[in-house]
Amino acid sequence: MAPVHIISPINVGHIDDVIELSKTKPDTIPQRFVRDITERPTIATLTPNKAPIITTPTHNNHHMPIIDFSNLSKHNTHELFLHELLNLATACQNWGFFQVVNHGVDLNLMESIEKMSNEFFMLPLEEKQKYPMLPGTIQGYGQAFVFSEDQKLDWCNMLALAIEPQHARNPNLWPKKPEKFSETLEEYSREVRKLCENLVKYIAIGLGLKEEAFDSMFGEAVQAIRINYYPACSRPELVMGLSPHSDGSALTVLQQAKGSPVGLQILKDGIWIPVHTLPNALVINIGDTIEVLTNGKYKSVEHRAVANENKDRLSLVTFYAPSYEVELGPMPEFVDANHPCKFRRYNHGEYSKHYVTHRLQGKKALDFAKIQTSNAF
């Protein structure tokens, strides 16, 4: 979530606040939110409280992997550690998404930041508008990734804030209400950062690297949070909660608020699969950065959010990525005669800027780093 400096004004037109819209339960959804038929979620994907029935052999009896972090961090036994390490490596390679239980983030703290986030979104609009997300930026309250007045909008309001490094923050965009929100967010972010720091160590070990391999090249890791609020929508089949995309981070950590309906979906083998989160678990996914560093061995995964007709949904999403100053490219360990280099070397700050100044379009942002091959003879 690199700071973005706008050189010229961006005309995004009028943007309705979806929380305010949802209060009226409109039968007719404003056209800026109505997706083209090819982009709409199917009815099957909008039955969120039942596990999806998948008929293809690839997914039969398969569920998103679950990692017990205590088996990694406490080294309960050497056998348990190796077993969980293998589970983690398999999850990263075959899914790019997994849930973590016994992750060490204080459950009371998770509950507190959840409660305060809900309270923030329920504040009067005038109060939330004191922290505006200006067009072309990605800090503050509003709609992100909007760059034109005819662009389709997501059925979502968000509060996005840079956490680390501190100089990337805009203190004027940190809400003063509810009371102690900022203090709680600081504490929560510190605990999630520890989890990310440990996870990248175990991911490195699972790849056959030294445990500090990623840490040493990340520098002062960047951290940001985006708190998403998806109000109920009277016509969920017409809208998209959050457009399909992969994350530009190294790791992304998602906490879904208790009582929220299923909304997150991941694209696996061409099928959108709803993610049913376990109580108190955190959902982790691999970002574009890890895909580049591993030369595609671990891939970032396209995902999206759908709206629900009857219930609001809240999610807290933390992004963990290398310093803006570092140069990245595939690590030598993952490039050989059978695995040619797929990505060029680039400055991570430049990639971050590219990511946040383009609308969400699947994995298109990763084209920035891809080595383009010619099919010409």
Q: Return the pLDDT at 341.
A: 96
pLDDT at 5: 43
Domain ranges of the chain: 68-366
Q: What is the pLDDT of residue 3?
A: 45
- Apex 238 CA angle, 58 and 358, nearest 5: 80
Q: What angle do CA 231, 137, 12 make, to 5 degrees?
A: 70
Look at the block and give the residue holding tokens 């999806």. Answer: 52
pLDDT at 52 over 50: no
pLDDT band (50, 70, 90) for residue 43: low
Q: Using the predicted structure, report yes or no on whether residue 377 has a pLDDT greater than 70.
A: no
180-233: pLDDT as tens digits: 999 999 999 999 999 999 999 999 999 999 999 998 889 999 999 999 999 999
Query: For 85-141, how does the pLDDT look when each residue is reduced to its tens digit (9 = 90+)?
Result: 999 999 999 999 999 999 999 999 999 999 999 999 999 999 999 999 988 788 999
- Residue 249 in contact with residue 319, Cβ under 8 Å? yes
Regarding pTM above 0.85, the answer is yes
Express each pLDDT in 316-361 by its tens digit: 999 999 999 999 999 999 999 999 999 999 999 898 888 877 778 7
Residue 228 β-bridge partners: 158, 315
Q: Residue 376: its pLDDT value, please?
A: 45
Region 77-85 average pLDDT:
91
Q: Which of 89-103, 254-268, 361-375 has the lowest mean pLDDT?
A: 361-375
Give the residue, 265 or 375, on which the prediction is more confident: 265
More confident residue, 377 or 191: 191
Q: How far, in whole angstroms, is CA 127 from its chain's centroid?
A: 26
What is the per-residue pLDDT across 2-34, written as a single tens digit (0 to 9) for each? 444 444 467 878 888 999 999 888 788 999 999
Q: Is the pLDDT of residue 161 over 80?
A: yes
Q: Where are the alpha helices (DSSP H) in 207-266?
A: 213-218
Alpha helices in the chain (DSSP H): 18-23, 70-73, 78-94, 107-121, 125-128, 181-206, 213-218, 288-293, 348-356
Q: Does the pLDDT at position 147 exceed 90?
A: no
Q: Check residue 228 and give its pLDDT.
A: 97
Return the half-sphere exposure (C-beta side, CA atoms, 13 A cut-off) of residue 6. 14
pLDDT at 60 over 60: no
Q: Which fold has domain 68-366?
A: Jelly Rolls (2.60.120)
Q: Which residues pair with 223 in a beta bridge?
A: 164, 320
**Residue among 162, 140, 142, 161 nearest 153 (CA):** 142
**Peptide bond just before 165 cis, omega within 30 deg:** yes
Asked whether residue 44 carries a pLDDT value surpassing 70, the answer given is: no
Query: How does residue 54 score in pLDDT terms, banded at 50, 70 and 90?
Result: very low
